[in-house]
Amino acid sequence: MKRYLLGLGCLLGLSVCSSPTPNHADTVRIRWARDPENLDPLVLPNAQAVETTNLLHCSLLTVDYAQKKFVPWLAETMPTVRRTDSLTLVTYRLRPEAAWDNGQPILASDVAFTLKVMSCPGLPNEAARAQFAFIESIQLDSLDRRRFTLAFRGKSPDLVQASGDYPILAEHQLDPRGQLRHISLAALRADTVQATPRRSASVTAFARGYAQKNLGRHPENLPGSGPYVLKEWRAGRHVLLQRKKQWWGDRVPAAPPQLRAHPKTLDYQIITDDATALLALRRGDIDVYPMMPAKEFVRLRQNQKAGDLAFYTADSYEMLAAGFNMRQPALRDALTRQAFSHLFDIPGLIQASQQGLAYPSVSLVSPTAGPLYNDSLPLLTFDPQKAQALLTQAGWTRNSQGWTRHPAGAAPQRLEPTFSYRAGEPAYEAVALQFRAAAAKIGIQVQPRPMEASLFSQQLRAGRLEIYLQSLSGNPFVYNFAPILHSQSTGWGNFTGFGTATTDQLIEAIAAEEDPARQAQLLRKFQRVLRQDCPLVVLYFLRYRLAAARRLTNLHVTGIRPGYEAAAIKSQPAGAVRP
Amino acid sequence: MSRPFRSRPRRWWLALGWLLALLFAALLAPVLPLPYAPDTTDLTAIAEAPLTGSHWLGTDPLGRDLLAGLLFGARTALLVSLPAAALATLLGGLIGGIAGFWGNTGLRLPLSYAAAAAGTGLFLLGFHGSPTIVWAGASAVAAGLAGGVALLGRRGYRRTVAVPFDALALALMALLASIPLLVLVLALAALYPPSWPGLLAVLVLTYWPGPARLVRAEILRIRALPYIESGWALGLPAVRILWRHALPNCWHTLSATFPLSVATLIGLETTLSFLGVGLPPETASWGRLLAAARLAPTAWWLVLGPAAAIIGTTVALRQLAVREPAH
Amino acid sequence: MGRFLLHRLLRALLAAWAIISVIFLLSRAGAQERPPASRLAEGSLSATTASPVQRRQAGQLQQRRLGLTGPLFYVSAAPAPAAGLGWRWHWNGRANQYHQWLRRLVHANLGVSFRDGQPVTLLLGQSLRYTLPLTVGAAVCSIGLVWLVAPHLGRPSWRRRFLLGLFFVVDAVPLFVVALLLLLLLANPDALAWFPAYGLGPEDAAAPWPVRLQALAYHLALPLLTLTLASLPALAVPLDAALRHELRADYVLTARAKGLPDSLVIRHHALRNALLPALTLLTELLPGLVAGSVVVELVYSLPGMGRLLAEAAAAHDYPVLLGGVLLIALVRLLGQLLADWLYTLADPRIRLPV
């Protein structure tokens, strides 16, 4: 036994001496916390899959991270928009250089095909189908094979952006026999939960062929129009993308930034544990560590003033909010909710759980949004005295057991709210414990209830929670609050039960408004309404944190996920970096 | 165990002292003049090292005082982990003992009783309605079956069936060990709100197979020993042989693993809290303090404090539970 | 013996069927209609173009595609009658999820993953490729280590006190702390950077096998050490108790009187008797080998079985979860069988009823 152990020791010793030093001149290695799981362009289950798909496939439009707006990608320019009385008509023209890897041009028929695939029954496309169901029809230009017009109902400007935000798929790859060509979009969409008409044989055959391609695990079976190809994917270990030698984007004269892709190889290393990832960064096993935990980020930045790492932060659109379920009797009146909103010690929480790398806001709009942000509203203060006063105003009286009230014609109420959140997130737990302690000081017994993720969302949808914590993610382009605050979304995104005819109208008006000045006015009004009615309290907006090797430049660090632009990254040769 | 107190070694007294201190900490924690409560967060002192600020033993990444956490954690250990370990060991010991002792054929029930019990169970499983009617129906079925079996033959009432207790126990153990904790917990959480007895029940339910397996193996061995044979030969009742002669000989195995069970259950209790059916987050526990170290891997004091408490307790329990051979 | 084994094997299969059925029903009973996991994430202000109705329909369509619609089992609960006596159950016929699933299972088809559409058997096989070297290696190492320290257990000495103290310390510290501690000590550029921090390194299929084995050993060294350390107390502490019990027996006295050295007395005589309770650990060890260790796989970023099942459970990927549970349950039942058989080998006086 001893001899074997000795042998093992020698083997290990040998391997320590001969550990390989990989050559990574043109490789950018990025840390991911999880596997993309499914790279089918129709499915996209998580942020990692979205990021990969955006490198493998091009959409009509894309986001310019530096300017924080949509820019044309496969499209030649931003589309022209025409409005008839009921329809919005959006006309695109594809870039003449745009081509598939085999040299075939990308044409309007590919876009039409993509829309059909996204509606074809039998494919794993439910989400895409719901999201792009607003596009009613596509009209191909009979003269120009690159020009087409999309028609949809609704006038809001975000629909125009959304109409170009899906990866375009190659018809000659997926449907070489044209099985979908003669079937209309409307016929495909007739297949719903309620009605399942007999599927035509060609649709069934197409669905079978699609399933056989096994795109979820083998996206290389469908070469895309993006600058990268999937070279290797070892589930749970790494995803390796390689720059195409011949990409159509290289032929575009004076190519805009979105048509440039610098790194020769992108190596996404999947490291599940944060502490391990930090060590890997320190050892130089990875070059980019996005979404770094605040504490580690701050500590490393202090220690590494002149090290080989560079540190970036960006104001994000991701916020932590506390919601009040207005369907619960005790939380039905605005005064009680306002009282609770004064029990959050927001500056303390920002300092404690985000190390100051977050910023407060009066409402759902980021303070960086300029005129859209209602700066005349004061930030929420931590004020238990005021909370007490507001509670008294709301009809609650404090006695030895706590706060009670006796509304006329209803059962007596006690103020003992539960405070629910997804378990395992320390930032949530910090909020829950702080809120509980603050409430206890004025005699309210709050019960924190951490829950497993699926149980939490199940209870949330059922409306059984009282106060809850939720992460909300916004963006700089669109102000549509319908998914979380419209009365139609109650139980499906709107968990507060907020929404009257007036506020629904206001939400719709904001989404549909095109004129920036008028939209700002409406938005500011909406923020005032939210402060008054207090269905939810925005605790803070996060600041994204990213650490990267100093030799990397042009990372385009932004507050939009994933927080950087992998294709833009430039790498300086090792000698050129000054320490 | 009946040695006079005077001759106990010093280690034994130390162990007793530790457990008494634990008991006092658990009882007196609320009235001790602690500078900080265990459930309040000090947002100005996040993951503070010991002796650097106003927190003597430092704080965890949420700003909770470690000293208060340790003292109040003793309450949790005494109220949850220790009873759970004791109950699980007891239950496991009993089930394992019966399974090993009687096996699949040793335990026999009169056929008429068995038929009546099975009939009642099936009836209750198959029908529902107003309570009086259901119970009347169930009693009628039971009486009918029991009578029917007795009339089957001349000696029908003496006929017996073997209860395959060993196979049942083994299958149950395999079942409990196979259900992923998350699935079990979610199924339970959908039915019952989290509570202290519920937590205790889940802990015992998931932990008893370990001791049961150990005792079953021991009993299998002991059953074949001469003194048990002579017990049978003397005509002693089976229960008495099991209870007075076989089970006491498993004590040395159980007492050696019991302290480890306590440590395991402290960890399990933390996992359950994480899944949302355990203790509420404001309740301090040693396991939770250890888990907090995950957020701040460099905060050695978060490991040192609770680990020392757990080690002290397990070693003390072992010292009291295990009889050292005379030498 | 053959008939005994066959009988037990059949019973084990029956038990496996019962276990997996219970878990099937338990896990699916909680499955409710959910919005598809992708793009339509709740709390996102950007997934705006789908109306609430469309989202709900998307959820229903997905349930239908995954085969999660329709009754769960042959019977479902019937409402209580207003008066008198009524059936508690309502018969659903064979068109239920359980029947479909069981029929596929009989044809050795475990289904495909809800997440990526891969066959469950393929996913399990891939994970085992990473898990087995780790767990088997750790089991061999820890059994070897216990064999090495066995002569010091069971009788009072400073070595035994030290070893037991060490085991209690390791047992009280959670596994992730052990893993992180080793990582911070042995893979840290600030301390000793002897080992890689994560993963398995680049895999070069063209390399000769000794090189590949060496790379594997190098990358698995820290996880192996962690698991070995963590599994030692559970093996050694009961063994110590049993040895102490055995060493008081007469045959040990005889062996000593013959002048055998203590280590031989323990290894050749006492250990065999003391092993009996330790054999029960086999029923835990074998399933542990295929189940992997979530914590170690997460800390060292290894795509093993523990991580696969934990992620499947969190994402409600039932086919993968059930496949994994079935595999582990089968191995566990085999372990029980094996342990019982080994009892009779270790101590021929033991008779096990069929």
The answer to whether A454 faces chain B, any CB pair under 8 Å, is yes
CATH class of A318-542: alpha beta
Structure tokens at C219: 């990358």
Q: What is the pLDDT of residue A18?
A: 42
Q: Of B69, B67, B68, B75, whose CA–CA distance to B24 is shortest?
A: B75
CB contact under 8 A, B126 and C87: yes
The answer to whether A45 faces chain C, any CB pair under 8 Å, is yes
CB contact under 8 A, A279 and C117: no
Q: List the alpha helices (DSSP H) in chain B.
A: 10-28, 66-76, 82-102, 111-126, 131-152, 165-178, 181-191, 196-207, 209-223, 226-233, 238-240, 251-275, 286-292, 300-321
Structure tokens at B287: 């396991």
**A105: region left, alpha or beta (phi > 0 left; psi from -120 to 50 alpha):** beta
Complex ipTM: 0.88
**What is the rounded CA–CA span in Å between residue A125 and residue A117?**
8
Residue in chain B closest to A349 (alpha carbons) equals: B43
- Considering only A41-55, A69-83, C200-214, which range has the smallest mean pLDDT? C200-214
Return all residues near B277 (Cβ < 8 A) that are at least 6 apart: B185, B188, B189, B194, B198, B199, B202
Q: What is the pLDDT of residue B278?
A: 76
pLDDT range class, residue B107, cuts 50, 70, 90: confident
pLDDT range class, residue A250, cuts 50, 70, 90: very high
CB contact under 8 A, A472 and C37: no
Subunits with 3+ Cβ pairs within 8 Å of A are B, C
The CATH fold of domain C127-346 = MetI-like fold (1.10.3720)
Domain boundaries of chain C, sorted by first residue: 127-346
What residues in A contact B40, CB-CB < 8 Å?
433, 437
What residues in B contact A456, CB-CB < 8 Å?
276
Q: CA of C310 to nearest chain B CA: how many angstroms apart?
A: 9
CB contact under 8 A, B186 and A455: yes
For every residue of A499-539, DSSP letters joined together read --HHHHHHHHHHHH---HHHHHHHHHHHHHHHHHH-SEEEE
What is the interface size between A and C, counted as CB pairs within 8 Å?
Answer: 214
Q: pLDDT tens across A559-579, in order? A: 888 899 999 999 887 555 444
Residue in chain C closest to A271 (alpha carbons) equals: C301
CATH class of B5-105+165-321: mainly alpha
Q: pLDDT tens across B144-202, in order? A: 888 887 777 656 566 788 888 888 898 898 888 888 877 777 777 766 777 788 889 88
Distance of alpha carbon B66 from the chain centroid: 28
The answer to whether C210 faces chain A, any CB pair under 8 Å, is no
**What CATH architecture is A36-218?**
Alpha-Beta Complex (3.90)
pLDDT-above-70 percentage for chain A: 94
Residue in chain A closest to C47 (alpha carbons) equals: A131
Q: pLDDT tens across A352-388, in order? A: 889 999 999 999 999 998 899 999 999 999 999 999 9
CB contact under 8 A, C276 and B178: no
The answer to whether A432 faces chain B, any CB pair under 8 Å, is yes
CB contact under 8 A, B183 and C27: yes
CATH of domain A228-315+543-576: 3.40.190.10
- Give yes or no for residue A309 having a pLDDT over 80: yes
First to last CA, chain B: 16
Element (H, E) at A426: helix A426-441
Q: pLDDT tens across A261-289, in order? A: 999 999 999 999 998 999 999 989 999 99
**What is the rounded CA–CA span in Å between residue C210 and residue C215?**
9
Mutate to test the interface with B, among C245, C299, C343 (most CBs of B within 10 A): C245
What residues in A contact B61, CB-CB < 8 Å?
295, 426
What residues in B contact C85, CB-CB < 8 Å?
127-129, 133-134, 137
Q: Do you find a cis peptide bond into C119, omega within 30 degrees of 0?
A: no
Beta pairing, strands A418-422 & A467-473: parallel
Residue in chain A closest to C211 (alpha carbons) equals: A15
Q: What is the pLDDT of residue C246?
A: 82
Environment class of residue C257 by beta-carbon count within 10 Å: exposed (0-12), middle (13-18) or buried (19+)? exposed
CB contact under 8 A, C280 and B217: yes
Q: CA of C354 to nearest chain A CA: how many angstroms apart?
A: 39
Q: What is the pLDDT of residue B1?
A: 44
Q: What is the pLDDT of residue B325?
A: 46
Subunits with 3+ Cβ pairs within 8 Å of C are A, B
Higher pLDDT, B273 or C318: C318
What residues in B contact C284, CB-CB < 8 Å?
177, 210, 213
Chain C stretch 77-116, residues whose beta carbon is closer than 8 A to a beta carbon of chain B: 80-81, 83-89
Mutate to test the interface with A, among C28, C32, C33, C46 (most CBs of A within 10 A): C46
Q: Cβ distance C237 to A37 under 8 Å?
A: no
**What is the rounded CA–CA span in Å between residue A483 and residue A490?**
9
- Give yes or no for residue A351 having a pLDDT over 70: yes
Q: pLDDT tens across B53-66, in order? A: 888 898 888 888 99
Q: Which residues pair with B63 in a beta bridge?
A: none
Environment class of residue A294 by beta-carbon count within 10 Å: exposed (0-12), middle (13-18) or buried (19+)? buried
Backbone angles phi, psi at C295, to 5 degrees: -60, -50
Q: CA of A440 to nearest chain B CA: how many angstroms apart?
A: 10
Return all residues near C14 (Cβ < 8 A) that are at least 6 apart: none
Q: What is the pLDDT of residue A41?
A: 93
pLDDT range class, residue C350, cuts 50, 70, 90: confident
Same fold, A228-315+543-576 and A318-542: no
Residue from the list A8, A130, A283 with its beta carbon closest to the beta carbon of C40: A130
**pTM of the shown model:** 0.89
Domain boundaries of chain B, sorted by first residue: 5-105+165-321, 108-162
The answer to whether A28 faces chain B, any CB pair under 8 Å, is no
Q: CA of B26 to nearest chain A CA: how many angstroms apart?
A: 22
